[in-house]
Each structure stands twice: as structure tokens, then as C-alpha cells.
Amino acid sequence: MPFRKACGPQLANSPTVIVMVGLPARGKTYISKKLTRYLNWIGVPTKVFNVGEYRREAVKHYSSYDFFRPDNEEAMKVRRQCAMAALRDVKLYLTEEAGQIAVFDATNTTRERRGMILNFAKENGFKVFFIESVCNDPNVVATNVMEVKLSSPDYRDCNSTDAMEDFMKRINCYQASYQPLDPDDYDRELSLIKVIDVGRRFLVNRVQDHIQSRIVYYLMNIHVQPRTIYLCRHGESEFNLKGRIGGDSGLSNRGKKFAVALNKFVEEQNLKDLKIWTSQLKRTIQTAEALQLPYEQWKALNEIDAGVCEEMTYEEIREQHPEEFALRDQDKYYYRYPSGESYQDLVQRLEPVIMELERQENVLVICHQAVMRCLLAYFLDKSADEMPYLKCPLHTVLKLTPVAYGCRVESISLNIEAVNTHRDRPEEAKKGPNPLMRRNSVTPLASPEPTKKPRINSLEEHVAVSPALPGCVPQEVPTQMPGQNMNTSQKPS
């Protein structure tokens, strides 16, 4: 499809260049990488273009802060060439590589540099959104320098004291010519957000479209406080044992043992103000009950809906819906069960959960295989193609610790045996798409008149509340204790 004319009207879905602004050690790269991870996760193709990497490629050996002095004309010429090279790659990504958002990660501290970027965007029909990170707290800046900057390639052969001194002088080189964004006067026509003191305050100006509003919302929810997120599936269920997917089954005997072991594990972690979240399905609630702590139920954490295939084994699906079985194997992320959901649908459903996880500190999420895969893909920056095949075994806790530019993961088995519910990617699926592929259609190929099995027989039979935290239950869901009789089954992976 030919690219729109540069001088034509700006379309609602025109590609966007996000331009970072701010002095060194203000968290620009942290924001760039985290925001890019989020946008890719929700399905918006995004890539970071870090001008510092272009500079390190052009200048193999970094000597000192002198390179960044404003009166170093030769260095200034090199830095401008690096910025132009990055912008050329931005154009290539947005016009020929199906990119939708490019994050231009550099200091961009002068109006002259920002003007150059605005002209570049106008010539190519791109929208521009500025993100300026402002922080004058010397303790925050020093911490950022120690945790991130001193480990950069620039200081590979330098001791920490000398590196710290050099980097602070580098900041001073930028400080002399820094022109902050001025939304009240000079920059009043620009679309921008100023993130002040690591999210203590925000200033937003002229948001142009839906994606910019989502970016603003995301930036207003993230924080940098140390915390730990624990992800695990419910204990083994009765339908796990039978190989059935869907429904709302209770725990097996081994699943109950896992719940007890999880209680011991949580006690050993000795976490302050631990939040516990579950789905509204029986097996996660029974697992949480053993912890004897308050917990919250999220409908958004319910397992992927298998539609007409609920409560069936994979063998039964292969026999009764052979085309559906083949279609799901061909593209598991986009495939939607007839009258059910796809992994893509699940990501959209889980976005509020991610937002709230970003706001919280220590959280334990007791969920389901497909749900856990989606959450894990967000934190580990996994692609849509990888997501449906991430290994999330039963009776294993994944401990996620956010670090500077990513997330450290530790897998902890609680040594309670359980069935293996993981299905590897079929060899046929690795060969590429099939002409039969049906993406996100609610009309099944194999069943002209699907009859979706209900998740529950009636509202009165649904488990909904923990007696420890009655205020967390949605009003429309009546209450029932986890031990009471209900339809049983387990959600699909």
C-alpha cells in the first residue's frame, strides 16, 4: 500500500514519533523501553531509536565529558549526524516496516533540535508527541546514575568514582543549553506530557488522538518503587486430571496440597502489605482460601473462554471440530474459539489488570495458564507469536522483580506433583500460515450452529466472595463458599 503524501492531511492513524526530552539520568530510556513494551503488548508496533547507541557506533572509544561540551564543534557535528541517522531509520520503520510508533530516545534539550524533528515529521506526515522527564532531586539523579549509567559501555574500563564524576560533568554540559518544553507559551501548540519528579506531578498539553491518550494514561500509572510480583496458576484441578478445558472445576487432592504449600511459601517471603488477586473461578478461589489472607477477585483474570469447545478434551475437539483444531494450531494468538475468545482478546481484557499491577507494590496473582502467559509476556517483553507457548507449569511460582530496563524472573517449584498441561507449538504451525486461516471471526468453520456451553448453570451456583474481604466482590455476583457444589471444569490454554 503506498504511503500517504507528506503534504496531505494528517490521518487519524498516522504513524507517531514519540520524542523524549530531558537532561541525562532523568529516566528517558527507562520510560522509552517500558512504554515500548506496553505498546507492543497491546498490539501497536513500536520501536525505540536510542541516539546514544548511534553515537557509540560512530565513536568507538568514549574519552570524557568533553565530547558533550557545547563548544566542541567537531563533536557537535558527529552528534547531529547520529541524530539524522536515527531519524532516517525512524522513517524507514514507519513507512516500510509496518511500524506505527517510533520512540526517538535522546536528550533533545534545545528548541533547535526539537524544531528539526518537527520539520522531519511534517515532511513525512508523522504525528509528534513529546515526553519530557523533569527531575531536580539530586538523590534520584545520583541513584539513577549509579544503577544504570555507570554500567554503560562508555564507562566499561573506568572505576565508579571517576565515572560518576565524569557523568555529572556531562549533565552540566547539557544543563547550560537546556530549554525545557514551555506549554504555556512557546510550545503551546505541541502535543506533550511533562513527567515531573518521577511521576509526582504531570502536565499534559494538546493530546491529539486515542493512542496518545493511552500513552498518557500509562505514564500516569507506572512507578519506580521496589516491589515484587508473584504469578502462579491455581492448584491442579479435577479437569486438569481429565484433560478437559473450560468451565469451573474445583481442586484435586494434589491441587489442595499446592494451596497449603503456597501458604507456607507466602509466609516465608515475609512481604509487607501483600495484595492477593484471583479470578472469579472456583479453582483460584480455593487456592487463595488456603492462604488465610484477604484477597480480591477479578473477572478480568478468568481464563480464556473456549466457547463451543469448553469442557472438551483436545482429542474431542480434534474429532468434533477438526478445522477449528487445525486453525488454532496455525496461529494460536489470533485464533478465536467459536463463541469464545482469542489470546488477542485476552490481552485487551487484561489491560486494566496490567495498569493496576503497575500502580501496586507487592502482589500475588493466582490465575490460569493463558492469563499467566499474557501477563508474563508483558513483563518479559515477549512477542504475540511467543506468548501462547510460554511455559507456565502448575504448582510453580514465578517471582518477577522489575529492574532498570526490564524484569528479572525466578521460577520456584513448590515440589507438589501435577499434570503437564503445556502443548508445544506443532511442527506444521512453524511452516507458516495456512490459506484456511480465519482470524477473529465469530463464525466457526466446523460448526454452523454453535451452542456455547454456559460457564455456570445459574448465578446462584457461582463462587464469588472471600469472607475475609467482602468489599472486593463485584455487586452483580452473588456469594457462595468455595466448598459448595458447582459445575466443574477448567479453562483452556
Return the SS3 of 124.
helix
3-state secondary structure at position 412: strand
Contact (CB, 8 A) for 131 and 20: yes
Residue recorded with cell 528539526: 116
Catalytic residue among 289, 303, 305, 341: 303
Asked if 166 contacts 156 with a C-beta cutoff of 8 angstroms, the reply is: no
Candidates 82, 105, 289, 309; catalytic one:
105
C-alpha–C-alpha distance, residues 296 and 480, integer Å: 15
The one-character DSSP state at 61 is S
Burial (Cβ within 10 Å: 0-12, 13-18, ≥19) of residue 75: middle
Known active-site residue 105: yes
Amino acid at 15: P
Query: In the beta sheet, which residues pair with residue 229?
Result: 363, 400
Q: How far is CA 267 from CA 64, 89, 253, 283, 364, in A?
A: 50, 51, 22, 21, 12
Q: Do the beta carbons of residue 141 and residue 167 sit within 8 Å?
A: no
Q: Annotated catalytic residue: which of 135, 173, 367, 392?
A: 135
Contact 355, 458 (CB under 8 A): no
Q: Are 281 and 249 in contact (CB under 8 A)?
A: no
Is 329 annotated as catalytic? no
Q: Which of 82, 154, 234, 358 is catalytic?
A: 234
237: which 3 cell numbers?
484441578
Categorise residue 239: left if φ over 0, alpha if ψ from -120 to 50, beta otherwise. Answer: alpha
Q: Is 472 annotated as catalytic?
A: no
- Specify the residue for cell string 509496518: 98
Respond yes or no: is residue 462 known to be catalytic.
Answer: no
What amino acid positions are annotated as catalytic residues? 105, 135, 234, 303
